[in-house]
Amino acid sequence: MPRTRKKSSAKITLPTDTELVGLVFNAVPSSNYTIFPEYAKGLHAWFLNQVRETNPDLSAHLHDGESEKPFTISRLQGNFLSTGTKLQLSADCNYQWYVCALSSRLAEWMANWLQNLPKVIELRNAPLEIQSVEIAHPATTYQQLLENKPKNTLSLSYISPTSFRRKKHHFPLPLPFNIFHSYLRRWNHFSGLPVEQDAFLEWVDENVIIQRHEISTTRVAGGKRGLVTGFTGAVEFGLGKDAAREPEYVKLFRALGQLAPYCGTGHKTTFGLGQTRLGWSIESDKIEVISPQELLAERIAEVTEILMSKQKRTGGTRAISVCEKRATILARRESGESLQDIAIDLEIPYETVKTYIKLARKILANG
């Protein structure tokens, strides 16, 4: 999409009772920039820094280690050029970036933030000039989601890699139990309208069915252990004939479907994974260019396999964890990332990172 330098002057106002809202930033790079596949961590850090600068108390709350965070972000959506294991942002293109609030406290902060937005999204080494901000998902409340009356079928599209954690591994399948467990966790944490989890999920297991799907699986670089296996595509969920025996659960099923675009699906939704949209769409490849991520993921997997083959003890999870970390560091360094940036990103001491890459290179050199 051609770039436009005309910036929107209209400011967005949100209702005072807003608990959920989704924004989309339209932004352009001031020049052509090359970025690493894991750039979403830079967007994550920039957003949290915006909160810290204007509301330190809220910032402390966001950093307090809660498992459920009251926001989600997307990766950049737009046209990318692939350059090996890197991505290139083009100065003549617009890019979209989605940010959603899941709590009244964050929505209130966001309403104030919108009145005095910065001019630039400071992505590391690739600043993006904000052209406009629009409402992507309407401001609403959890109670209003319950009162909506959509159909008993629900189509959801997963436009960035989506995965769940299961027994310390990634689980890249949209089983109804996993999907609605993901949404219910956010609902119970933020809505103030909690539902008994086990009973509802038992109902889901018995009554929610997949009517059709079109999904594909991909491995992308992400996380401290290097790889995330996820799915993209579209799924249509429906209800079995006995579902209506629990009308309150039917209402919740509908409400959770409406919640999905705000909260995302699965894990790492604050780093751009699990982006979800209402409706049927299988155009994820047009939205997310993931081939450089896949190249990096393939290299990490290749190096991990070599390192594991040289391990004397391969039982348990420690060996694979260490090998994946070393492989991740090596692969990211090969792609041009500095050891200092890798150390900061992985939250590993710089000297440890240096040691890991030396050991990995030595093993690879010795065959």
The DSSP-derived string for 130-174 is EEEEEEEEEEE-HHHHHH----S-EEEEEEEEE-EEETTEEE---
**Which residue matches tokens 């990103």?**
345
106-135 tens-digit pLDDT: 999 999 999 999 999 999 889 999 999 999
User: CB of 167 within 8 A of CB of 43?
Assistant: no
In the beta sheet, which residues pair with residue 215? 233
- The answer on pLDDT for 284 being more than 50 is no
Sequence letter at residue 304: T
CA distance 42 to 104: 25
Across the range 344-348, mean pLDDT stands at 82
Domains of the chain: 21-137 (3.30.70.1890), 142-278 (3.30.70.1900), 292-365 (no CATH)
Residue 61 token pair: 């709350």
- The answer on pLDDT for 285 being more than 80 is no
CA distance 303 to 309: 10
pTM of the prediction?
A: 0.82
**What letter would DSSP give residue 226?**
S
48-73 tens-digit pLDDT: 999 999 999 999 888 876 678 999 99
253-281 tens-digit pLDDT: 999 999 999 999 999 999 999 999 999 98
- The answer on pLDDT for 15 being more than 90 is yes
User: CB of 319 within 8 A of CB of 313?
Assistant: yes
Nearest CA to 75 out of 210, 306, 275, 257 is that of 275
Residue 168: predicted pLDDT: 72
Across the range 189-213, mean pLDDT stands at 97
- 136-160 in b/e form (b: 16+ CB < 10 A) is bbebbbbeebbeeeeeeebbbbbbb
Give the total residue count for the chain: 367
Residue 367: predicted pLDDT: 65
In the beta sheet, which residues pair with residue 362? none
